[in-house]
Amino acid sequence: MSDLFRDKAAEWDTRPVPLQISEGVFAAMTRHVPLDPGATVMDFGAGTGLVAGRIAPLVSSIVAVDVSPAMLEQLAKKPELAGKVEIVCQNLLEVPLGREVELVVSAMAMHHVEDTRALVRTLYAHLAPGGRVALADLDAEDGTFHAPGTVGVFHAGFERGALGSLLEEAGFVDVAFHDACEVIKEERRYPIFLVTARRPA
């Protein structure tokens, strides 16, 4: 699989939009997700660790999962993650971790996964009983958030009701949507949600 972020990784953390999203999503997580100091957290689509680096002081350990070696290379350099993070470069839908975590977080990764139903089932399978997900992505938009022809983008955001139904179908309970932040690109506004849900104990 080619690394779609190979040419973007080195300067990713200098881009205003990823920085704004990570700040907004982390703030929403602190409001709506119990961050247990003893928890192991999986960051799905961890990228360069913009969210993981903020969560790290509040939890025990982080498993950073991504399919981009270049993005994970940047994540590995971050001092705030030293001693806290395990880096896993693999496609979870094809190769599961083989163990469970207490919390799965994700920011702007779901639209890069073609089969959303398979994704939410996979995340459910990685959760310990009583574990939670906190997944952030774009609300349904008209396809203008990404430049035309951007490779690896399968969804122009998500309709909340449809995504909530997929989570419930996978077995999740307590599904709730929250407004995380709003991104302005070229004078257009793109709202980003955080959906939280729990695997029954």
- CA dist 58 and 147 (Å) reads 35
Structure confidence by residue, pLDDT tens digits, 28-83: 999 999 999 999 999 999 999 999 999 999 999 999 999 999 999 999 999 999 99
3-state secondary structure of 120: helix
H or E element that contains 167: helix 160-170
Residue 113 has pLDDT above 80, yes or no: yes
Output the six-digit token pair for 47.
């990228």
Delineate the domains of the chain, giving CATH numbers in brackets. 9-198 (3.40.50.150)
Question: What percent of the chain has pLDDT above 90?
Answer: 82
- CA dist 64 and 45 (Å) reads 7
When pLDDT is averaged across residues 89-103 and rounded to a whole number, the result is 95
- CA dist 169 and 37 (Å) reads 30
